[in-house]
Amino acid sequence: MSTIGSSNTGADWNAVLCSVADQDREAFAALFNHFAPRVKSYMLRLGSDNAMAEELVQESFSKVWRKAGQFDPGRASASTWIFSIARNMRIDVFRRENRPELDPNDPALVPDAPQAADAMVEQKQTAERIGSAIAELPEEQRQVVHLSFFEDKTHAEISDYLEIPLGTVKSRIRLAFARIKASLGEDYGEIQK
Amino acid sequence: MRIDHHPSEDILLAYAAGDLPESWSLLVATHIALCPVCRADVSTAEAIGGSLLADETPAVLSSDALAATLMRVQADDTAVEAESAAHDHATPPILPQPLRGYCGGDLDDLKWKALGRNAQHIPLVRGADGATARLLKIPAGQPVPTHGHNGLELTLVLQGSFVDGESRFGRGDVETADDAVEHQPVAEPGLDCICLAVTDAPLRFRSPFARLVQPLIGI
Ligand SMILES: [Zn+2]
C-alpha cells in the first residue's frame, strides 16, 4: 500500500485508518508505529509512569482496532480521532469517570446543515489549517492551549501554575480559539451565536 | 428549533480537552446532540487536540509494544464494535443520547421523585468533583422554587420552556447561572418543562420550607 511507505508528514493517515477498518494488519502496524509513540508522550505528560503509559498505549490502540469501523473521515481527521480515543482512555483510567459522548446515529440528534459533497477533502484541509493556525499563535496563547489539552490542567489550575489571573487564562484561550476558528474561513458555523 | 442560549466556549473547550468532569460533560454532550453550532465548535476544539497529538515529540516505546497490542487485539477479535444500530422509533425520542442512556430510557420510561411543591426530579450523576446532574420536571405554568447558588448551575431544556426575567429558554437552550444570580424561572404554559440541571454546589433555597426539606431530598 503506497500510502504507508511514504514519509510521516506525507502519509495519508485517514486512508490508512480506513484500511484498519477493513482488518488490514499492515495498515494497523503503520498507524501504530506513527501514532503510538505520540500517544505515549501524551500519557507521560498527563502524569503516568512508563509502565502505565505503555499499558494505556496498548489499550488505546486495541480500541483503535475495534472502533476503526466507526471512523468517518468526513467528520474528523485520523489524528483527531486517535486523540479522542486516548483522551477518553485517560478519563476512564485516571479519573475513573464515564465520558458522556453523543451518538452520531441517534434519531434525536439534530443534523448539521447540509454539507458540501467534498466534505472529506474539507476535513483534511481543516486539520491542516488548524495546525498552521496553532503554529502561528502568540506563545502565551499557544502555551495555555497546550496546558489545557495536553497536561490535563483545568483553567483554574493553569492560573495557579502560570501565576496569572483566571480571567487572563480564559481570555487567552478564547483569543486562541477565535484565531483558530477564523483560520477555517468566514462560513464557519454558518449560524452566528 | 432555534437555540439562542449556548454553554460558554470555556466549557465546550474543556469538554473537548477532557478536563470537564462527568456531570457537566453529560450536559455538554446532550446539548451538542441538539445544537449543530456548538457541535462544530467541539469538533474544531477536538481537532486542536488532534493537531497537538500529530506534532507531539514521539516517546520511546518498548520494542514489543506492537506485538503486545496485536496479541490483545487477537485475544479480543470478536469484539469489533459496529456503528450503533439504527433505531426503530416511529418518532424520534425526546431525550437525545447520551442522556437517554443515563436515564435508562426516554420520557415514558422515567420514574420521577417528588421535589417540593409539584416539581419532580431524578438524580443522574454525582461526579468526583461534587457536581450533580439531575433531570427536573416543572409543571407547565409553575415557578421553580426561588433559589440562589453557591456555585455554577447549567440548565438544559429538553421539553417545554421556561422564562427567567427577560429571557426565554426552549428545547436545546442552556441557562448559565452563577452565584451572583438569584433567579426565578417560571415554566411556560403548555407542556411540563423538563430540564437537565447541573450544579456544582447545593442550592440555597429561599423559602423556609424549602430550606427545611433540602437536607432530606439531598439537593
Ligand atoms: Zn449550542
Q: Is the pLDDT of residue A74 over 80?
A: yes
The verdict on ipTM greater than 0.95 is: no
pLDDT at position B205 is 52
Enumerate the CATH 1.10.10.10 domain ranges in chain A, comma separated: 117-188
Distance of alpha carbon A48 from alpha carbon A70, whole angstroms: 28
Q: Which grid coordinates belong to B188?
A: 411556560
Distance of alpha carbon A165 from alpha carbon B151, whole angstroms: 19
pTM score: 0.88
Instruction: Please state the three-class secondary structure of B14-36 as a single string.
Output: HHHHCCCCHHHHHHHHHHHHHCH
| Widest CA span in chain A | 52
The residues that bridge with B186 in the sheet, in sequence order, are B143, B163
Of B54, B58, B84, the CB nearest to A37: B58
With an 8 Å Cβ cutoff, are B50 and A81 in contact? yes
DSSP state of A27: H
| Cis check: omega of the bond before B98, within 30 degrees of 0 | yes
Handedness of CA A149, A153, A156, A160 (dihedral sign): negative
DSSP state of B196: E
Distance of alpha carbon B49 from alpha carbon A184, whole angstroms: 16
The residues that bridge with B133 in the sheet, in sequence order, are B125, B198
Distance of alpha carbon B93 from alpha carbon B125, whole angstroms: 21
The backbone torsions φ and ψ at residue B88, rounded to the nearest 5 degrees and listed phi first, read: -110, 30
With an 8 Å Cβ cutoff, are A152 and B18 in contact? yes
CATH level 3 topology of A117-188: Arc Repressor Mutant, subunit A (1.10.10)
The backbone torsions φ and ψ at residue A122, rounded to the nearest 5 degrees and listed phi first, read: -60, -40
pLDDT single digits (tens) A83-120: 999 999 989 888 888 999 999 999 999 988 776 555 55
Whether residue A94 contacts residue A46, with contact meaning beta carbons closer than 8 Å, is answered with yes
Residue A32: closest CA among chain B residues belongs to which residue?
B66
CATH level 3 topology of B1-59+111-219: Jelly Rolls (2.60.120)
- Burial track B85-109 (b if 16+ CB lie within 10 A, e otherwise): eeeeeeeebbbbbbbbebbeebbee
Enumerate the CATH 1.10.1740.10 domain ranges in chain A, comma separated: 13-98
With an 8 Å Cβ cutoff, are B97 and A109 in contact? yes
Distance of alpha carbon B173 from alpha carbon B162, whole angstroms: 10
Closest CA to A179 of A141, A124, A148: A141
With an 8 Å Cβ cutoff, are A106 and B87 in contact? yes
With an 8 Å Cβ cutoff, are B47 and A113 in contact? no
With an 8 Å Cβ cutoff, are B21 and A188 in contact? no
Q: Which amino acid is at B87?
A: H
Per CB-CB distance under 8 Å, the chain B contacts of A87 are 17-18, 49
To the nearest 10 degrees (0 to 180), the angle between helices B36-54 and A139-150 is 100
Per CB-CB distance under 8 Å, the chain B contacts of A46 are none
- Show me where the domains of chain B are located: 1-59+111-219
In the three-class reduction of DSSP (H, G, I as helix; E, B as strand; rest coil), residue A63 is classed as: helix
pLDDT at position A6 is 40
pLDDT single digits (tens) A18-48: 999 999 999 999 999 999 999 999 999 888 8
Handedness of CA A45, A49, A50, A55 (dihedral sign): negative
With an 8 Å Cβ cutoff, are B53 and A86 in contact? yes
CATH level 3 topology of A13-98: Rna Polymerase Sigma Factor; Chain: A (1.10.1740)
Residues 91-120 of B with CB under 8 A from A: 92-98, 100, 102
pLDDT at position A117 is 52
Of A32, A80, A102, the CB nearest to B29: A102
Distance of alpha carbon B48 from alpha carbon A134, whole angstroms: 8
Phi-psi group of B159: left, alpha or beta (phi > 0 → left; psi -120 to 50 → alpha; rest → beta): beta
Q: Which grid coordinates belong to B217?
A: 431530598
Q: Is the pLDDT of residue A78 over 60?
A: yes
For residue B80, the Cα-to-chain-centroid distance in whole angstroms is 29
Residue B7: closest CA among chain A residues belongs to which residue?
A193
Q: Separation of A163 CA from ligand 1 center, angstroms?
A: 32
* Stretch A54-76: mean pLDDT: 93
Q: Separation of B36 CA from ligand 1 center, angstroms?
A: 7
DSSP state of A73: T
Interface test with B, best of A28, A161, A177, A186 (most B CBs within 10 A): A177
Distance of alpha carbon B217 from alpha carbon B219, whole angstroms: 6
Distances (CA, A) of B30 to A90, B97, B178, B201: 21, 6, 21, 21
Residues 130-159 of B with CB under 8 A from A: none
Distance of alpha carbon A130 from alpha carbon A141, whole angstroms: 14
Residue B165, classified by CB atoms within 10 Å of its CB into exposed (0-12), middle (13-18) or buried (19+), is exposed
pLDDT single digits (tens) A161-188: 999 999 999 999 999 999 999 998 755 6
With an 8 Å Cβ cutoff, are A150 and B172 in contact? no
The backbone torsions φ and ψ at residue B208, rounded to the nearest 5 degrees and listed phi first, read: -60, -35
β-pairing verdict for B174-177 and B204-205 = unpaired
Q: For chain B, which residues score pLDDT lower than 50? A: 211, 214-219
Whether residue B135 contacts residue B124, with contact meaning beta carbons closer than 8 Å, is answered with yes
